[in-house]
Structure 1
Amino acid sequence: MRLTRDGRLLQTFARLADTLVDDYDVVELLQVLVDTCRDVLEMTAAGILLAGPQGELDLVASTSETRSFAEMMQLGSDDGPCLECYRTGRHVAVPDLAASSPAWVQFRASARRQGFRALDSLPLRLRDTSVGTLSLLRSSAGDAPAEDIVAAQAFADVATIGILHERAIRESSILSEQLQAALNSRVVIEQAKGVVAHTRGVPIDEAFTFMRQYARAHQLRLGLVAAQIVERRIEL
């Protein structure tokens, strides 16, 4: 039976909640979130930036594995809507990138070159603790439906709770270690994508898909699969 849109939203919440076990994979949790925003909320693309120990924002999960998309998101974290969202802890809506802040010239140019015309950046925040942002990008200008923003913020809130975790709330050093581990894992994943893309002769996006399929089929963490690929312990 095909699920309705509301049914798919509920299914996503259940999947996110099911992911939050003691030994969960932060990167996989966030990947589920961005994929859902694209597929269920019908966004063109989505990306999550997490803050490192020094407050710098780095791309950890996205619906596109292209270098141009990653570079665009980093521009947004240096001087753009993502940074503003993270600093203020508030939703930043940009219904028309062409009319966005003059200060965001590099981000705006990069986004428009890739066909994006509007975006919303939502905070990953619990009380006074901000850990990053969720950005939703669209190919058409205009405001996103209010109910979609509510749903996306709810997803972001669940992910934030997962990132912080009960142990991290009790001890800030655990939070720093967990966030750093996620960022380190992403570096290894980037290396593994390059290896798979080279050995199989496929684009980066397809290489990443192969890695996720292998991880799920063997019930392994995505980060572990990436590390084993880089160490040449497995070959896709």
Structure 2
Amino acid sequence: MAHPDAPVHPLGEPERSPLARQFAELTRRLLNTDTVAEALGHIMRATFAVVPAADLVSVTLRSNDGRLHTPLETDPLGSELDALQERYGHGPCLDASRKPGLAYTHSGNLGTEPAWPLFGPDAADLGLRSVLSTALLPEVTPPRLSGALNIYSRREDALAEEATRDRAMLLATHASLAMANTEAVRLAELRETQLRQAVDSRDVIGQAKGILMHRRGINADEAFDLLRRTSQELNVKLAELARTVAARDAELDI
């Protein structure tokens, strides 16, 4: 029997913590989602809400031929990081997606991570110091894509707390369920989304590079390096910085 002084909540309106409210809202959005790309977009936005240390979030899928695909990312570096892992044959999302069931990989210092001797230093050179990758559960029916939800931070020793890992695994579980309950996953759809985002990002980055080349008298590689370094120093996404430079080139002195 409940204690007479125990708080009573109206039916259907239990008291919720901020984290519970965020996951409840994510579930509501996923239930009203029709496409895989839209579902994964909700997952990535929720990741920033529940993992404050996150600076870059991406979703990696492995097709039956073993190739990696990055259908959605919050920064063009997501695709670059996946390409590095595919080139070297090791890395966090590869390790997480190879393990059956719920799994995760973590490093708090990518620059010296012994598990990924080639990928880790390259990721650190791109300004990313910590990573947490959580496995997506493969579908029961074909094409049975496996994959990972990847969270990167620019700070060392970030993303290591047990609470952060548990939140990431909950997000990956939501992503797996959403993928299973939306339309059958079609790589063509995901690739189209990826291509559209990549083209948009490359266009605006190209515009910003052209502005810097003209104003600074530097070549394309130097302009890109300037954008990348400034992005890291200001802690803003590369594409976001490029849009600002392109839109306000007359006002800014990068």
Same fold, judged at TM 0.5 (above): yes
Whose helix fraction is larger, Structure 1's or Structure 2's? 1
Matched, 1:151 2:185: no
Please say which of residues 69-78 and 181-190 is displaced more in the overlay.
69-78
Could you tell me which of 82, 88, 113 is aligned with 1:73?
Answer: 82
Matched, 1:18 2:29: yes
Match of 1:180 in 2: 188
Match of 1:38 in 2: 48
Question: For residues 87 and 109 of structure 1, do their structure 2 counterparts lie closer, same or farther at Cα, with a shift above 3 Å needed?
Answer: same
Matched, 1:88 2:99: yes
3-state SS of 2:118 partner: helix
Deviations 1:137-180 (A, max 9, x none): 2212256221121112111111111112276xxxxxx44xx233
3-state SS of 2:117 partner: helix
Measure, in 2, the Cα distance between the counterparts of 1:146 and 1:131: 24
Say if 1:13 and 1:155, in contact at 8 Å, map to a contact too: no
Could you tell me which of 33, 37, 56 is aligned with 1:27?
Answer: 37
Aligned-CA RMSD value = 3.4
Could you tell me which of 236, 240, 246 is aligned with 1:206?
Answer: 240
- Greater gyration radius: 2
Measure, in 2, the Cα distance between the counterparts of 1:131 and 1:93: 18
Say if 2:159 and 2:165, in contact at 8 Å, map to a contact too: no
User: Gaps spanning 5+ residues in structure 1: where?
Assistant: 168-173, 211-236
Measure, in 2, the Cα distance between the counterparts of 1:108 and 1:46: 17
Could you tell me which of 111, 114, 131 is aligned with 1:119?
Answer: 131
Match of 1:171 in 2: none
Measure, in 2, the Cα distance between the counterparts of 1:92 and 1:35: 21
Measure, in 1, the Cα distance between the counterparts of 2:36 and 2:117: 32
Say if 2:64 and 2:145, in contact at 8 Å, map to a contact too: no
Could you tell me which of 49, 54, 61 is aligned with 1:50?
Answer: 61
Letter in 2 for 1:95: G
Q: How far apart are residue 87 of structure 1 and its match?
A: 0.9
Count of residues in Structure 1 that have an aligned counterpart in Structure 2: 194
Please say which of residues 199-208 and 91-100 is displaced more in the overlay.
199-208
Question: For residues 136 and 166 of structure 1, do their structure 2 counterparts lie closer, same or farther at Cα, with a shift above 3 Å needed?
Answer: closer
Measure, in 2, the Cα distance between the counterparts of 1:209 and 1:160: 33
Matched, 1:131 2:149: no
3-state SS of 1:35 partner: helix
Say if 2:34 and 2:182, in contact at 8 Å, map to a contact too: no
Measure, in 2, the Cα distance between the counterparts of 1:182 and 1:121: 20
Q: How far apart are residue 108 of structure 1 and its match?
A: 0.8
User: Gaps spanning 5+ residues in structure 2: where?
Assistant: 1-15, 212-226, 228-237, 245-254
Question: For residues 112 and 49 of structure 1, do their structure 2 counterparts lie closer, same or farther at Cα, with a shift above 3 Å needed?
Answer: same
Q: How far apart are residue 29 of structure 1 and its match?
A: 2.4
3-state SS of 2:187 partner: helix
Matches within 5 A, 1:156-235: 156-165=172-181, 174-175=184-185, 178-195=186-203, 205-206=239-240
Identical residues among aligned pairs (%) = 19
TM-score using structure 1 length? 0.66
Deviations 1:15-47 (A, max 9, x none): 3432334x6232232233223323431123222
